[in-house]
Amino acid sequence: MIEIKGLHKSFDGVAILKGIDLVIPKGKITVIIGPSGSGKTVLLRHIIGLLKPDKGRVVVDGVDLAALGSRELNDFRRRFGMLFQNAALFDSLSVLDNVAFPLIESHRGRALPDVERIVEQKLALVGLPGIGRKMPSELSGGMRKRVGLARAIVLEPKIILYDEPTTGLDPIMTVAIDNLILSMQQKLSITSVVISHDIDSALRVADQIAMIHDGRIIERGSPEEFRRSENPAAREFLEASGRKANAGEVR
């Protein structure tokens, strides 16, 4: 679904991405992990076309994003759904209006579908039926994440991007969000890209884990392959989580 080839990006002469090569398979969950400042967010912005590479290509569903004009790129982005780190809900809008927002924006000048019915379907998918009239201030952190995910899927995208979906959540809610990511994958058969520094979460949900370090992908594979990694940076990441890198045992 997504091919990243020789991707380089610098800001003010400082190299952030230094030749990223990564294939993200269709219909699977790929988790991109790495420490703060490693380039995860910059990579995510290239995947959705918010940044253009200094060198290299990002090809999504056979389309080179750099070849698209601004209007074409805006249309193309409808293939993506995005769950932001803090859910990014509009505090002055109800849950219903928050989830409906992309739907209404995408139909400007055209007849609207049955907005409330579609919103209720998406809220039910994320386990929050019947809360459309509530305000974001009435929701817990986990519920806000779920509403953000309902908004991300309201246009029925081919790809969902998750930006640090478990940041700021307690362990129980973290597992609940992980289960929700897996549930969306099973119910919608979409391609999911998760940006995270949470190795435990990555090992729970990923079909493929790719670790970015100092602007490069240094390790890539299934969770079991990642657990057996001999790469020093990958082993440090695993061991910091209390896992035995060469055997995948929890201590």
pLDDT on residue 169 = 80
Smallest CA-to-CA distance from 77 within 176, 175, 172, 155 is with 155
Starting at the edge strand found earlier in the chain, the sheet holding 159-163 runs 80-83, 159-163, 191-196, 29-33, 208-213, 216-221
Q: Are 56 and 7 in contact (CB under 8 A)?
A: yes
- Token pair 């990511």 is at which residue? 181
The torsion angle over the Cα atoms of residues 77, 53, 84 and 176, rounded to 10 degrees, is 100
Average pLDDT, rounded, for the chain: 89
pLDDT tier for residue 244 given thresholds of 50, 70 and 90: very low
Give the least confident one: 132-141, 165-174, 196-205, 211-220: 165-174
Q: Is the pLDDT of residue 245 over 80?
A: no
Percent of the chain with pLDDT over 70: 94
Alpha-carbon distance 125 to 224, whole Å? 30
- pLDDT, tens digit, 9 for 90 and up, residues 184-234: 888 888 999 999 988 899 999 999 999 999 899 999 999 999 999 999 989
- pLDDT, tens digit, 9 for 90 and up, residues 31-41: 999 888 888 99
Q: Locate 224 and state its tokens.
A: 């079991």
Q: Is the pLDDT of residue 57 over 70?
A: yes
pTM score, whole prediction: 0.88
Which residue(s) pair with 216 in the sheet? Answer: 213
Residues 6+ apart with CB under 8 A from 81: 151, 152, 153, 154, 155, 157, 159, 160, 161
Domains of the chain with bracketed CATH: 2-240 (3.40.50.300)
Is residue 4 helix, strand or coil? strand
Q: Are 217 and 208 in contact (CB under 8 A)?
A: no
pLDDT on residue 251 = 31
CA dist 11 → 4, 14, 54 (Å) = 19, 5, 10
Percent of the chain with pLDDT over 90: 64
